[in-house]
Amino acid sequence: MSDQRTSRSVQTVQKRTGFFGSASRMVPEEVPIAFSYGGTTHAVMMASPADIEDFAYGFSLAEGIIREAGDILAVEPLEAGGGIDVQVELRDANADALTARRRRMAGPVGCGLCGIESIEQATRSVELIGSPSLILSPRQVAEAAQMLSDLQVLNRQTRAVHGAAFYIPGEGFVAVREDVGRHNALDKLSGAVLRQGRAGHDGAVVVTSRLSVEMVQKTAALGSPILLAISAPTALAIETAETAGITLVGIVRGEEFEIFTRADRISEGASAHVA
């Protein structure tokens, strides 16, 4: 199936300069999207109905179901009532691992953290990114934040969606994804990067949302060493970034920003290209 429309026009009553009047506004679409592996639904997300295959790859990566693009054999989005059922076919080894994981689950999941069964998994450990050579200058940090704002097509229409992008010095953004959910936008971005055959450690993740721990966990799953945002992080996000060795940059306002972890990757002497 092709991606559904991502926005629609609705009628509103506006109050402007002291008067009420009829008007119209574009608002984003939001639909349930189910991820099914081996014919069994794993999670249902409320999301924008676009970039569905990217979403499937990125969600699977963030959940630890896959580690590389080749772990997925096929993705088939199917219309299902008012939503989309995404049938994902895994390699045998990944499918067996997911089946074993399901057997360990004590009961149904009823919150926004999908596919987990305990508090320990909600605060799961992240792998150490290591010491990749990616370094950004303050100018590149500012450039990345501004570029994302400029490239958010759906947000310009609706002013109601989050954006996530992958920035590589010397190339700019190689992928930009939007969604009504900040986690979904980052999953879609991760999927796009994975499907392009890019290495996560070659670029920085840039997001428009606050820096919650889940955003750091998803960035770590992708393998990117730098996470930039226009908002601030939570305390747990900072702790998790420190553990993963991720440079966390928040409250980006032009060339003014705050670095919360691994400040050595932001330097005036940064090259225009990845070493």
Percent of the chain as helix, strand, coil, to the nearest 5: 35, 35, 35
Other CB atoms within 10 Å distance of the CB of residue 154 = 22
Closest CA to 137 of 170, 163, 173, 166: 170
Closest CA to 237 of 201, 186, 199: 186
Rounded Cα gap, residues 75 and 212, in angstroms: 29
Specify whether the backbone of 38 is left (phi greater than 0), alpha (psi in -120 to 50) or beta: left
Rounded Cα gap, residues 142 and 106, in angstroms: 46
Which residue numbers are catalytic? 111
CA Rg, the chain, in Å?
19
Rounded Cα gap, residues 169 and 227, in angstroms: 14
Q: How far out from the chain centre does Cα 208 lie?
A: 10
- Residue 88 has what DSSP assignment? E
Rounded Cα gap, residues 122 and 106, in angstroms: 15
